[in-house]
């Protein structure tokens, strides 16, 4: 064995390793960018839910964008008032108070109300069921009932009730919108917490056809519209619609006259 050649090889490799180590160290010092200390301070005050409703890739990225001026504080619907005030003080900006929004499920067509068209034995997700005749419920507009919205909620604000319909805890709900995006039937909407009257139905079929598949469906009978002379309620495409801009608490609501009880009044702490 030629020990001289072996020693030369070891020294050569060691020298190259030392050279590149020094080179990397110098490059790191040269290219290193000091992180703004406010990023960590802001990040610690954010909720850490990483829900993505702010448009950033998580709370850490949102903190960077906030400090860098790429995002606004009110882009985060989850941040509490106290934390927002502290962050605003750190950044030297004003807090713009927004209207708190919460999710509401616009359907009551669960077990006992909606008819069953088949037994569904596919992937137990709403999005999966849309590719297999829309699941087992006969209403093509209503909730599929497999809980995709529950899965994506980072705040435990949605759960399935005994009838297989998701209900929202309006106290826990932050209005992040994850459930809205997850619903393939678009039966979940975000509304200001000040909205208290809803028509919980999406079915736009004729009254005869909608009633045939669900006893809780709006049948477009116009009883509500006539009861208030068209102020606050109108019927379009066989579906009653609440005009929240016209609705006032003084308006005599036609909830008792609704034959399918699809018009409901919701309190701020109710689950709907």
% helix / strand / coil in the chain, to the nearest 5?
A: 35, 15, 55
| Domain 37-91 CATH assignment equals 1.10.10.10 | no
Tell me the two tokens of residue 199: 């028509």
CATH assignment of 101-265?
3.30.70.20
Residues 20-41, buried b or exposed e (16+ Cβ, 10 A)? Answer: eeeeeeeeeeeeeeeeeebbee
pLDDT of residue 260: 95
pLDDT, tens digit only, all 272 positions of the chain: 556 766 666 667 766 777 767 777 766 666 655 678 888 888 888 888 888 878 788 888 888 888 888 888 878 888 877 888 888 888 888 776 667 899 999 999 999 999 999 899 889 999 999 998 899 999 999 999 999 999 999 999 999 999 999 999 999 998 999 999 999 999 999 999 888 889 999 999 999 999 999 999 999 999 999 988 878 889 999 999 998 888 766 666 777 889 999 999 887 556 66
Task: For the chain, give every domain's residue range.
Answer: 37-91, 101-265
Distance, first Cα to last Cα, the chain = 83
User: DSSP 3-state assignment of 144?
Assistant: coil
pLDDT of residue 182: 96
pLDDT of residue 68: 85
Tell me the two tokens of residue 126: 């709403």
């Amino acid at each position: 064995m030629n020990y001289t050649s072996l020693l030369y090889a070891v020294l050569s490799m060691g020298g190259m390793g030392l050279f590149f180590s020094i080179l990397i160290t110098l490059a790191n010092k040269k290219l290193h960018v000091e992180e703004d200390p406010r990023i960590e301070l802001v990040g610690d005050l954010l909720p850490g839910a990483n829900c993505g409703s702010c448009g950033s890739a998580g709370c850490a990225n949102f903190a960077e964008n906030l400090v860098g001026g790429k995002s606004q504080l009110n882009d985060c619907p989850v941040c509490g008032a106290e934390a927002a005030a502290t962050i605003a003080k750190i950044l030297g900006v004003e807090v713009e108070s927004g209207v708190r929004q919460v999710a509401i499920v616009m359907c009551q067509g669960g077990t006992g109300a909606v008819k069953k068209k088949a037994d569904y034995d596919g992937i137990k997700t709403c999005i999966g069921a849309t590719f297999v005749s829309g699941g087992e419920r006969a209403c093509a507009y209503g909730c599929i009932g497999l809980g995709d919205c529950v899965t994506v909620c980072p705040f435990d604000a949605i759960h399935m009730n005994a009838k297989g319909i998701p209900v929202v805890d309006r106290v826990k709900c932050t209005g992040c919108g994850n459930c809205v995006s997850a619903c393939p039937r678009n039966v979940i909407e975000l509304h200001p917490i000040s909205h208290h009257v809803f028509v919980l139905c999406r079915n736009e079929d004729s009254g005869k056809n909608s009633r045939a598949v669900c006893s809780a469906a709006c049948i477009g009978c116009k009883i509500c519209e006539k009861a208030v002379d068209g102020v606050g309620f109108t019927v379009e495409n066989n579906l009653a619609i609440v005009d929240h801009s016209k609705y006032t608490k003084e308006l005599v609501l036609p909830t008792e006259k609704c034959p399918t009880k699809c018009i409901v009044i919701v309190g701020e702490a109710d689950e709907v």
